[in-house]
Amino acid sequence: MSRSRHGSNPSSSAKICVPVCETSLGTLRAIEWADFIELRLDCLESDPDNLTEILKDISGPVILTFRPSEQGGHRQLSREERLRFWNNVAPRSERIWWDIEGDLADEISPDWSRVIVSHHDFNGVPDDLNDIYKRLAATPAQVIKIAVQANDIVDCIPVFKLLDEGREIIPIAMGNAGIATRVLGPSRGAFLTYGSLDDETATAPGQVTARNLRSLYNIDQIDDDTIVCGLVGLPVMHSVSPQIHNGWFAAEQLNGVYLPFEVKDVDSFITRMVHPRTRELSWNLRGLSVTAPHKQTVMDHLDWIAPDAKEIGAVNTVVIETDRLLGYNTDAPGFIDPLLRKFDSLAGRRAAIIGAGGAARAVIWALRRQNANVTIFARNVSKAESFGVACQPLASATFGDYDLVVNTTPLGSSAYVGQSPVTAEQLSGVRCAYDLIYNPADTRFLSEARKAGCDTIGGLEMLVAQAKIQFELWTGRKVNTDFTDECG
């Protein structure tokens, strides 16, 4: 039987509950990083029994949950079945908490000092969220839990605002867009947050592992003064930027955290959550990394843009300085940095750029600044002509006369694993092949390049190089650790 490592950080005010959803309680694994264990009894294949004996082997507080499918449970449970369980089966003790749904609150008689009364909505943030809160707050329960689906990051705003209502509460925005509520919630007064045992056992959308909450996001150290930075894009969960920047915050002993921000509507996000003059959330937001598809759109909301970023036509870094938003492009110097370790000079070198999308902008600008001769190879040559450099069709291209070939397409990324825009035969004779993709670290394009005898540069080198510049812009600190091995 598993044993909780209860109180792994007793001095921390951040409490993590690890949910356990198993078909049999006899299959429980060792649980670490947990202040509470939640037993999801609705996951059992049969009705729970002998709970008192099982609970003897689990140290620390336990939350019992017996949730119907319409509230996110794993079984069809009638109201009568749930009432029978809570009134006749569920054990009571000083370390056992009950998590009951709000619709049952009037028909059970627990020790209310250890009851969480909850509501879940997996569709979105309901229009009557405040009314739901008031109904739950009218019960004698010690803690209120409200979990709603975040379909965009601005859905976190009403969830965070529940913390201002005065009751002990667990407010959760589920989904990738709601991760900020899971990481920052405890520092803003949430009773606890939920962290899964591992990525495969998450019991709700967007649930971060308990290990990552503590070791990656350093949840125990977050407070009102914590510098908050994050990655803005869609999607963002594949990114290793949180590992890089949070590693640097730890190495530099800075009170900071870097989060993934899944943003659909960047206009609403900047207005309601970012810009100091209009944001609805009080937090120490210091900076943003910006990735696809928002590098151009975000420029409309900035108070100042660096000249090189204006020339490139894309911003990938935002600095919040007093009441202004400043825009930079660190992709260009980040791209060039690994190349200058391969070539003494890029002047006069022939460079082929595969792809004519947004990722090519900073690459082409940076190479031209180094006086390289640049040609774009694209499926859509007419689109490529807008970049103002020579253009060739990709389909029949050979690159033997080129010193450098750069893949700026998404082929080979996690969404297109195993694909490459070109073959080893096409790359034969090329001195260096450079793939901007960093996840996975070893792409099919790089594999083809090695077969052709090329030197290679992976996207992680560029990611780390440009991230160092971002970190210095946000914090004023230069870093030497690159975390390439850890992230690769």
What confidence tens digit (pLDDT) does each residue in 231-287 have?
999 999 989 999 999 999 999 999 999 999 999 999 999 999 999 999 999 999 999
Quick one: three-class SS letters along 217-245?
Answer: CCHHHCCCCCEEEEEEECCCCCCCHHHHH
194/73 same-domain check:
yes
Phi-psi group of 420: left, alpha or beta (phi > 0 → left; psi -120 to 50 → alpha; rest → beta):
beta
Write down the pLDDT at residue 31: 73
50/140 same-domain check:
yes
7 domain-assigned: no
Q: What is the pTM of this model?
A: 0.91
Tokens representing 147? Answer: 């979990």
Q: Which residues contact 187 (CB under 8 A, 6 or more apart)?
A: 13, 14, 219, 222, 223, 224, 226
Q: CATH code at 419?
A: 3.40.50.720
321/422 same-domain check:
no
Q: Is residue 60 packed enough to be buried (19+ CB in 10 Å), middle (13-18) or exposed (0-12)?
A: middle
155/74 same-domain check:
yes
The domain of 386 spans 333-457
222 domain-assigned: no
Residues 300-342: pLDDT tens digits?
999 999 999 999 999 999 999 999 999 999 999 999 999 999 9
When divided into structural domains, the chain yields a total of 3
Residues 348-370: pLDDT tens digits?
999 999 999 888 999 999 999 99
Write down the pLDDT at residue 54: 73
- Look up tokens 């990525």; give the residue: 199
69/200 same-domain check:
yes
Q: How confident is the model at residue 30 (pLDDT cuts 50, 70, 90)?
A: low
- Look up tokens 């960093």; give the residue: 438
38/183 same-domain check:
yes
Taking a C-beta distance cutoff of 8 angstroms, is the pair 393, 345 a contact?
A: no
Residue-wise burial string across 354-371, b where 16 or more C-beta atoms lie within 10 A, e elsewhere: bbbebbbbbbbbbbbebe
Taking a C-beta distance cutoff of 8 angstroms, is the pair 174, 200 a contact?
A: no
Beta-bridged to residue 97, according to DSSP, are 63
49 domain-assigned: yes
Angle, CA of 288, 290 and 292, to the nearest 5°: 160
Mean pLDDT of the chain: 91
78/104 same-domain check:
yes
Q: CATH code at 62?
A: 3.20.20.70
Indicate the residue among 164, 188, 215 that finishes a domain: 215
Out of 47-51, 100-104, 312-316, pick the least confident.
47-51
337/325 same-domain check:
no
407/310 same-domain check:
no
Write down the pLDDT at residue 485: 47
Residues catalogued as catalytic: 295
Write down the pLDDT at residue 136: 97
φ, ψ for residue 431 (rounded to 5)?
-75, -45
Q: Give, as one character, the DSSP assignment of residue 17.
A: E
R_g of the chain computed on alpha carbons: 26
68/178 same-domain check:
yes
- Higher pLDDT: 200 or 207? It is 207
Write down the pLDDT at residue 26: 62
Q: How confident is the model at residue 60 (pLDDT cuts 50, 70, 90)?
A: confident
Max mean pLDDT range (1-10, 26-35, 265-274):
265-274
Q: How far apart are CA 468 and CA 306, in angstroms?
A: 17
Write down the pLDDT at residue 6: 34
Kindly give the pairing relationship between strand 317-321 and strand 285-290.
antiparallel
9 domain-assigned: no
Q: How far apart are CA 208 and CA 220, in angstroms?
A: 15
4 domain-assigned: no
92 domain-assigned: yes
429/412 same-domain check:
yes
443 domain-assigned: yes
Taking a C-beta distance cutoff of 8 angstroms, is the pair 61, 97 a contact?
A: yes
Taking a C-beta distance cutoff of 8 angstroms, is the pair 286, 229 a contact?
A: yes
Indicate the residue among 170, 187, 215 that finishes a domain: 215
Residues 112-131: pLDDT tens digits?
999 999 999 999 999 999 99
Give the length of the chain. 488
129 domain-assigned: yes
63/150 same-domain check:
yes
Residue 387: CB atoms within 10 Å: 19
Write down the pLDDT at residue 116: 97
Checking if the pLDDT of 486 tops 50, the result is: no
Indicate the residue among 215, 248, 271 that finishes a domain: 215
Residue type, 61: P
Q: How confident is the model at residue 24 (pLDDT cuts 50, 70, 90)?
A: confident
φ, ψ for residue 319 (rounded to 5)?
-115, 125
Checking if the pLDDT of 155 tops 60, the result is: yes
Q: CATH code at 235?
A: 3.40.50.10860
Max mean pLDDT range (30-34, 74-78, 454-458):
454-458
